Structure 1
Amino acid sequence: MELKSIIHGFKLLDEKQVKELNSTARLFVHEKSGAKLLNIENDDENKVFAITFRTPPTDSTGLSHILEHSVLCGSRKFPAKDPFVELAKGSLNTYLNAMTFSDKTMYPIASTNEKDFMNLMDVYLDAVFYPNIYKYPEILMQEGWHYELEKPEDDITYKGVVYNEMKGAFSSPEAILFRKIQESVLPDTPYGVESGGDPEYIPDLTYEDFLAFHKKYYHPSNSYIYLYGNGNLEEQMKFINEEYLSNFDKQDIDSSIPIQESFDKIKEIHVDYPISPEEGEREKTFLSLNYAIDRSTNPEIYLAFQILEYLLLETPAAPLKKALLDAGIGKDVFGSFDMSIQQPIFSIVVKNSDKDKKELFEKTVYDTLNKLVNDGIDKKLIQAAVNSKEFSLREADTRSYPKGLIYAIKVMDSWLYDSDPLINLQYEPTLEKIKESFTSPYFENLIRKYILDNTHGTLLILNPKKGLLEERTKKVKQKLSEYKAKLSDQEINELIHQTEKLKERQTTPDDPKDIEKIPVLSLSDINKEAEKIPQEEKGENDVKVLFHPLFTNKITYLNLYFDLKVVEQKLIPYAGMLVGILGKMDTEKYSYADLANEINIHTGGIHFYAETYGMNGDSKAYESKFIVKAKALTEKLPQLIGLMKEIIIATSFENDKRLLEIIREMKSRMEMALNSQGHSVVSDRLLAYFSEKGQFAEILKGFSFYKFVEDIEENFESRKKELIANLKEAANQIFNVNNLLIGVTAQEEDYVEFQKHITELLGSLNTAPVTQQKYSFDFSIKNEGLMTQSDIQYVAKGYNFLELGYPYSGSLQVLKTIIGLDYLWNRVRVQGGAYGAFINFSRNGNVYFSSYRDPNLKKTLKVYDEAGEYLEKFDANEREMTKYIIGTISKYDFPLSPSMKGEKAVSQYISKVTYEDIQKERDEILGTRKKDIINYKKMMQELSQQNYICVMGNKDVIKENKDIFEHLIDVFK
């Protein structure tokens, strides 16, 4: 569309086409307030708005992180205590969150509904410019930290959502490592402190500093506004100007980020992390070499180092990773290129090592890189890595975030540092330059300049230390005890009064008038019809094919679903192991390195997964599938199918050295997930106590599987023959033509290409008759405390409502919204101080509560048990019920990419969910009334009486509550 040079106070500075995004980009400045605005206009219905502030921290009190939480706790126009949650409950948002980075704070929202989009934008803009933090010190106390004291004789404790979130973050060695890497390489800049907050320093944050930070940095002159998608730009700009920016005058705000001066030599830094007194210290050290790499405003380096990091350290053909593993320095090797900071950092990390291997680590890195520079990197490896990156750039299939938000983050990687916001989106010219590497020493020169000849870096060694957590806990208790001893009776009473005042604010319902100020859509804004994903049942060589004719930009997505229930019980964990092994071992035609190159040159990737599916309306039945997920340009289908066949049919498991490397990496990555995804670990473990589906999944890929992998790694020499034999047998039982369902998502005219080439694969599979096995699972184990050196807990409780005689209904999903965003949010997060809490209901009847980074244990279980009482008193007017319904529907109407649509349709087919079921569920959601919610009181009470619980967390806390557990288990050896 044609735009005037000045529109609604915004002056147009630049307009250009971004062909890579099929978009028009326009850059504006708001003349009165100084706000900067970037519009990326295209036909994407999933509109994105974000406002970002440059917020460089000066200490590790977590000020910018706590402020990010706090501004969303009520504002001038929307004074309710938690407008953020009200929006989550009652909008059609496809994304709603806020993010603290090392140097910026971003507030993004997304919606496909224009009216909803404007509502969300209004609430967010009011939150950042006019928050209620100036009126209510309790907001800082709740979201950041406070002294908690209920009675004069009690011990004082620290409480606060961010305080507990960061205690959880600082319990993970990987999180500590990457925080310390930034700190060590850029020590004299804002990156030298912890923007998220270090629990040791969070209690140093004062209310005065908190307000001063907002006053200084949350001004339009320090803001970057981003609008993406097919929205009405003029209307959006008019609103932003009239409602917000016109109220401000331009200010000169110094939020600039200094450049770290280069070091004259690599610095060596040692940091400790906690392990339990029972854990062994051997092979628990992390070794990392870290380098400052140019600027994120250099688009060539920005993209080239993403490719170089993959090439050297991620692909199975990665030469630096291979050299480090061959040298026996550690059990896992990975890299990182941290590019969302002004001076990006490239890291080479070895995990499960020992500190006495640091010299060998350095020598191996430098010797290997020198050899690559002098002899040249394999051109096929370079081509493979570049092609892999190019495929992902062109596909732009982002699963975790809306596409427009991924672009927003990339934009800020240059815009925040006063450079062209589009340079990292316009990747075509940069990619062409990088492709010179196919015929020149391009990457070799990068390695020499930025790594071998670079003295601006650190050798960071992260060492395990027994008793460190106990030391820290003791130090905090002593500090609080000494603080209390200095207080007068009057000051103690004042603390008690503050605690009471906070609790009163937390437990007092909002004024209904304040809630009504938050805009809500009506049910008429919602599409009554559920989306119907096109799915045609076809057959090729007697194998069922589910075809999804969709526009895919000439990419074919091909998924093979092999039934796992034909596998003998003793082989289930070996099937889980195949997920991590296939594609990484030699085959008849290729070495594992050559195989990786072939995959990256010809395809968009071949990956392996194992999934277990509950059956619609049946608590007992389930299916489990071994999935081969692959994609390629349709013209490359012959190569894709040939490579899939090669991996499935011709993988050799005999190279025991390589097998051990993969198993060690598998164990290492599972350790990371145990530390970061504790809520999923405990809820999956919980389901195994009472559900066959849960137990199968637990053995296949849960905590039981982790223990299986741990045992195999520990006893590899004595078990390797058995391991190889069982892997072969599991593969033989799985990869059978009589055991296969195929999912294809492609353009209608491309199906014929699939037909032409799939026969080659089908003809090579095992043809023996198959039958599903009958399994005998042990349900005697339950109620476990999984003990770690974490400073917080993950608490799960649940059962199966179908087993108690209650049917599935769409109303349960509305109940999930109500319990999750009202009851659990207030009781477990706001009042309890946990970072998050959830409830989930499945069509097969399984239901569970779980909490995330939770300082409590029994208190949280008590909250779960009182959900029935909450429903007994549940009261919501028509407006509130409409909000809950809209918030529920928003999770169903999230825009999906073509590949995601195909996978969703197959998943529903396997679970026996028909389109009629989906429409019925939607009708039930839209028809949910207050009485339906109250009627679930009895069901929730009966569920809590079953008393199945699983907790992972702090060893001392679990032992203090050992009366509620039947088994206590150390997670790590």
Structure 2
Amino acid sequence: MTEELQHGFKKVQTQWVDDIGAEVVEYYHPQSGGRVMWVNNDDPNRTFGIGFLTPPTDSTGVAHIVEHSVLSGSQKYPVKDPFMHMMKTSMQTFLNALTFADMTVYPLSSMNETDFHHLMGVYLDAVFYPKMLTEEKIFRQEGWHKELFQPEDDLTIKGVVYNEMRGAFGDVDRAIMSSVAEHLHPESTYAHESGGNPYVIPELSYEDFCAFHQTHYRPDNALAFLYGDIDIDRALAQINEGYFDAFEADHHAIELTLPTPPKGRTKETVYYSADKQMSRETDSYLTYTVPFTSAQDKQMIFILQLLGDVLVDAEASPLRAALVDTGFAEDVSAYPSDGYYQDFGIVVENMSADQADQIVDIIEKTLRQVVEDGLDQSVFDGVLNSREFYYRQAGGSMQGITRGIQMLSVWRYQDQPLDGLTYSDELDYIRQRRDQGMFEQLLTDRVLNAETTQVLVHEPKVGLFRSQDDALAEKLAAEKAQLSAEDVQELIKQNESLRAYQTEPDTPEAIATLPQLDLADVPRETTNIPEEILSNNPTILFHPQATSGVRYVKLAFASDDMTREEIPYLKDLAILLGSVDTQNMTYQDLDTELMKATAGLGIVPKIYTAVDNPDDYTVQMEVNFAALNPKTARGFELTTDILTKSLFTQKQRILNVFKRVKLEMEQSFEANGHQAALGRVRSLYSNPSRYAEELSGIGYYDHLTHLINHFDTEWETFKHQLEQLNQRLWTQSRLTISLTGESADKDAFYHEVKEFIETLPVGETVVRHPMTFDFSNIRKEAIITNSNVQYVAQGGYFPATDYEALMLVLSAILSKGYLYDLVRLQGGAYGAGLTISRTGDMTAYSYRDPNVDQTIATYQAMSDFVANLELDQETLNQFIIGTMSSFHYPISPDKVNRIMLTRYFKGSDKSMIDKRLIATLNTTVADLMAYVDLIRETMAQGYTVVIGNEQQIKQATFAFDNVRELKQ
């Protein structure tokens, strides 16, 4: 008897998975060869995703450009950018697409069931029937094109992915990882850059681009996943009808290129682009890598990750002690394998290239000593506990996205998707063999006696990008010189045609094809988070949640009495606590004990601004950790030890920690410079933003740089100030506590908290007096980094009393419409946006932007756009719906303390938020028009910060008050 199919799908298996507490159902579509995995639970944040195996065969970035382009219109939804339309108008909680080294994933989630199916339909049509196959302009916009608008102009390359990857290649870590894969696995899938090398991207033709999609985007090369409280019959019907049922399986599997790594021991020198302050004596990297296992051996992958933590990443790791504590390098880390090849590797950061051979000898000598002595069992147990906590909480409020990618990550290597969801068997296997010598034997067989060992010395090369850009410019100039006048005019015509395509609005008929929610579909109240006040002296807030036995602790110590000079010392203290010895433990033992008892201890200074007054703000030093019920008491013991008994006497250790943090900040400025630019702009006029800048922005970076450069002469003064600050900060009188845990566990939890409080001195009450600053005359600043692109921020301040909830809608219209169109689509930046805050900040920003002048001019014209905005109420309502994720979002237990403590210090509550929700829902076109003058006047203040490429900054006609190097 033939088994009945459900919308073309056969149910293959149903299995309960203890590790994620859910039933997982697998479906197979015989006609197309497609598969669907459904994690069936009651999570209202419903998730859908579909992934395709997309291994590259070159570094043109074809998989990445296709990922961008399929979301630029489709057969059923012929608007130019359905992705952005849904970003504007849906209640999505996640909407993105991700290109991995060998697969591409399209995940989404929404807490509104109707919206979820809308999004699902748009994504299915996008991936299977994209408009890009018939509209070459999409390829030229998202991928690359030769740009020319005037005959006398230089010929240049533009494109969204092209500029994104110019920025990505400025990330030293990215460059190093690419070099390792390229050299260790030559001629393999992983020798190519799936995102695209910006100097290779222009080799991709439109024909090859289309062919890649046709070859790879089909159901028998895909895995779809569903997660949460889903009507599975409706979902399967939607996946089948017009999509899976339109394909026949061709049984020609997409294959990875996986040659065996060449045997032997190699050492090579490679180069990464550097700024003029960097040298091979201080800024070289070394990678030591050996093939360890493959992605199909799950047990070995767990062991590999464990070995990386134990041997390299933990503070008590032997390789860290051998290389960092002895001054050979500023940091070490385990090589993060991603793909079929799972390699054991060590990344040695900021070392001298001249010491490369010595460092390799130290690495191998240290590993041999570990084999002889055995792994440190205490560190082993700590790392194992930390790993289990990570697997248990993976994804937090976005577990559906995480679980889907976990299944795809094993499916892509022909394994069962369910294997990506389990971890307890592997951890049990490891625990049972912790003292049987297995790990030491693996180190001997697979690392020390490896058939293949690769050592790469990554030296900084000043101006590498500049020389590549110069070569490209010369090539383009020569190419242009060969063009006839007719050819030039044809190229200009092509660019004008692309610009017209980008600027021409979608027709009403095209827009009408998109599914839409109604305002009536939006709940009129936000989710209630229950809260109890357990004590008023100090204030203890408790939030009952289903946490699976995990307790979450957040301790806030008022720090409003800091002097101007003490501000950066708050951050210094936050960095060092837990990273230096205490009276009872070494920092290595402390790190190990924290891993054994908790998910880690976080200490960070935070600023909270009152909802009704931007000049009224409080500074809190926050300490937080999470632990399973039996281990919370130990977590509090360790917290007490760190806060009250830390020693600031290890001069070299403290210097090493600060050098590591400085390096991390430099890498962050290169990769996420828009955040630094936003903070810097606001610090030019806002008191709380200026405070924040000196706590964590470029202002703090300057403090750290000065301290490191003058460490010997300033050590005694620094140590004294730090000790004094630490002694007065951790008192009961400064303390506010937020707790989240199981309701039945409240009394036991409260008892442990009270015991912790008694370990602290009482102290004096802190009077809240927000600091005010004297602002300099600098309004327009450029900060030069080694980046290949720019991050451009501009804004100003307005009276906070003028802020209304509807500004959220105004910000969305400008971010997802005006700025997206002009800065991203036409300008070629990877992203752009506008923030308008309750504190009176209005700031526009761009991300990985090839321009300066053009972007600033776009910011200045925003008010004109609003003044001429032609928007009917029905269209506006869709924008309003698109802002609702600011009010309706998934709340996982690990987020509750942060949310509720933020409300507490800002003087906000659910009723105030609900009031803003209703005001936002009631926004009218007339309301928006009333803000034209405010936008014009605020942006006219012209506070500007540009972070990025030296050549582009110096060629800009915009008049900066100050131009400086990041590294001074």
1:514 to 507, 510, 515: 510
C-alpha separation between the residues in 1 aligned to 2:768 and 2:14? 61
What is the DSSP-based 3-state SS (H/G/I as helix, E as strand, rest coil) of the residue aligned with 2:241? helix
Matched, 1:534 2:533: no
Equivalence for 2:287 = 288
Equivalence for 2:775 = 779
What is the DSSP-based 3-state SS (H/G/I as helix, E as strand, rest coil) of the residue aligned with 1:294? strand
Deviation of 1:773 (Å): 5.7
**CA deviations over 1:663-707 (Å, ceiling 9, x no partner):** 111111111111111000010011110011011111111111111
Matched, 1:616 2:611: yes
Confirm or deny: 8 A CA contact 1:29 1:36 kept in the other structure.
yes
**CA deviations over 1:298-321 (Å, ceiling 9, x no partner):** 111222222221222222222211
C-alpha separation between the residues in 2 aligned to 1:582 and 1:260? 47
Equivalence for 1:443 = 439
Give 1:433-472 correspondences, 5 Å limit.
Answer: 433-472=429-468
C-alpha separation between the residues in 2 aligned to 1:731 and 1:397? 34
State the one-letter code of the partner of 1:346.
Answer: F
Matched, 1:474 2:473: no
Equivalence for 1:415 = 411
What is the DSSP-based 3-state SS (H/G/I as helix, E as strand, rest coil) of the residue aligned with 2:557? strand
What is the DSSP-based 3-state SS (H/G/I as helix, E as strand, rest coil) of the residue aligned with 2:601? strand
Change in 2 beyond 3 A, CA 1:729/1:204: same
Deviation of 1:144 (Å): 0.4
Confirm or deny: 8 A CA contact 1:228 1:404 kept in the other structure.
yes
C-alpha separation between the residues in 2 aligned to 1:551 and 1:286? 45
Equivalence for 2:792 = 795
Confirm or deny: 8 A CA contact 1:342 1:413 kept in the other structure.
no
Deviation of 1:389 (Å): 0.9
Equivalence for 1:712 = 707
C-alpha separation between the residues in 2 aligned to 1:893 and 1:18? 29
Change in 2 beyond 3 A, CA 1:4/1:825: farther
Matched, 1:354 2:352: yes
Tell which deviates more after alignment, 563-572 or 116-125. Answer: 563-572
Give 1:209-228 correspondences, 5 Å limit.
Answer: 209-228=208-227
State the one-letter code of the partner of 2:602.
Answer: H
Give 1:693-704 correspondences, 5 Å limit.
Answer: 693-704=688-699
C-alpha separation between the residues in 2 aligned to 1:777 and 1:455? 62
Query: Normalising by structure 2, what TM-score?
Result: 0.97
2:896 to 897, 901, 909: 901
C-alpha separation between the residues in 2 aligned to 1:264 and 1:552? 49
What is the DSSP-based 3-state SS (H/G/I as helix, E as strand, rest coil) of the residue aligned with 2:802? coil
Query: Normalising by structure 1, what TM-score?
Result: 0.97
Deviation of 1:275 (Å): 2.2
State the one-letter code of the partner of 1:802.
Answer: P
2:667 to 646, 661, 672: 672
What is the DSSP-based 3-state SS (H/G/I as helix, E as strand, rest coil) of the residue aligned with 2:883? helix
2:960 to 948, 953, 965: 965
**CA deviations over 1:436-466 (Å, ceiling 9, x no partner):** 2433223223322332222334212221112
Deviation of 1:617 (Å): 2.5
> Identity of paired residues, percent?
33
What is the DSSP-based 3-state SS (H/G/I as helix, E as strand, rest coil) of the residue aligned with 1:755? helix
Matched, 1:378 2:379: no
C-alpha separation between the residues in 1 aligned to 2:174 and 2:632? 40
C-alpha separation between the residues in 2 aligned to 1:80 and 1:206? 24
Matched, 1:730 2:728: no
Equivalence for 2:574 = 579
State the one-letter code of the partner of 2:401.
Answer: L
C-alpha separation between the residues in 1 aligned to 2:98 and 2:587? 39
2:342 to 330, 341, 344: 344
Deviation of 1:397 (Å): 5.2
What is the DSSP-based 3-state SS (H/G/I as helix, E as strand, rest coil) of the residue aligned with 1:51? strand
Give 1:171-210 correspondences, 5 Å limit.
Answer: 171-210=170-209
Deviation of 1:345 (Å): 2.9
Give 1:222-621 correspondences, 5 Å limit.
Answer: 222-277=221-276, 279-339=278-338, 341-396=339-394, 398=396, 402-539=398-535, 542-621=537-616
Confirm or deny: 8 A CA contact 2:779 2:942 kept in the other structure.
no
C-alpha separation between the residues in 1 aligned to 2:253 and 2:527? 49
C-alpha separation between the residues in 1 aligned to 2:218 and 2:667? 39
Deviation of 1:414 (Å): 1.4
Confirm or deny: 8 A CA contact 2:813 2:879 kept in the other structure.
yes
Deviation of 1:820 (Å): 0.8
**CA deviations over 1:607-659 (Å, ceiling 9, x no partner):** 11111122212121111111101111222222111111111001111111221
Deviation of 1:4 (Å): 6.9
State the one-letter code of the partner of 2:590.
Answer: L
Deviation of 1:130 (Å): 0.7
Equivalence for 1:827 = 822
Give 1:805-820 correspondences, 5 Å limit.
Answer: 807-820=802-815
C-alpha separation between the residues in 2 aligned to 1:346 and 1:807? 57
Confirm or deny: 8 A CA contact 1:617 1:808 kept in the other structure.
no
Matched, 1:844 2:843: no
**CA deviations over 1:6-42 (Å, ceiling 9, x no partner):** 3221123333221111122222221111112222212
C-alpha separation between the residues in 1 aligned to 2:192 and 2:958? 41
Unaligned runs of 5+ in 2: none
Equivalence for 2:154 = 155
Confirm or deny: 8 A CA contact 1:17 1:24 kept in the other structure.
yes
State the one-letter code of the partner of 2:200.
Answer: Y
State the one-letter code of the partner of 2:249.
Answer: K
Deviation of 1:599 (Å): 1.2
**CA deviations over 1:264-320 (Å, ceiling 9, x no partner):** 123323221222345555411111112323111211122222222122222222221
**CA deviations over 1:534-576 (Å, ceiling 9, x no partner):** 2222326x21112212221221111111112222221111110
C-alpha separation between the residues in 1 aligned to 2:809 and 2:769? 37
Confirm or deny: 8 A CA contact 1:382 1:437 kept in the other structure.
no
Deviation of 1:478 (Å): 0.2
C-alpha separation between the residues in 2 aligned to 1:303 and 1:809? 51
Confirm or deny: 8 A CA contact 1:160 1:833 kept in the other structure.
yes
1:944 to 939, 949, 954: 939
Confirm or deny: 8 A CA contact 1:637 1:753 kept in the other structure.
no
Confirm or deny: 8 A CA contact 1:615 1:843 kept in the other structure.
no
Equivalence for 2:626 = 631
Deviation of 1:774 (Å): 6.3
Confirm or deny: 8 A CA contact 1:397 1:403 kept in the other structure.
yes
Confirm or deny: 8 A CA contact 1:617 1:807 kept in the other structure.
no
Confirm or deny: 8 A CA contact 2:277 2:967 kept in the other structure.
no
What is the DSSP-based 3-state SS (H/G/I as helix, E as strand, rest coil) of the residue aligned with 1:589? coil
Change in 2 beyond 3 A, CA 1:809/1:457: farther
Deviation of 1:327 (Å): 3.6
Equivalence for 2:121 = 122
**CA deviations over 1:314-343 (Å, ceiling 9, x no partner):** 22222211211134221121223324x111
Change in 2 beyond 3 A, CA 1:231/1:59: same
Deviation of 1:44 (Å): 1.7
Matched, 1:756 2:754: no
C-alpha separation between the residues in 2 aligned to 1:774 and 1:607? 25
C-alpha separation between the residues in 1 aligned to 2:958 and 2:244? 58
Deviation of 1:489 (Å): 1.8
C-alpha separation between the residues in 2 aligned to 1:519 and 1:360? 63
State the one-letter code of the partner of 1:528.
Answer: R
Unaligned runs of 5+ in 1: none
What is the DSSP-based 3-state SS (H/G/I as helix, E as strand, rest coil) of the residue aligned with 1:562? strand
State the one-letter code of the partner of 2:578.
Answer: G
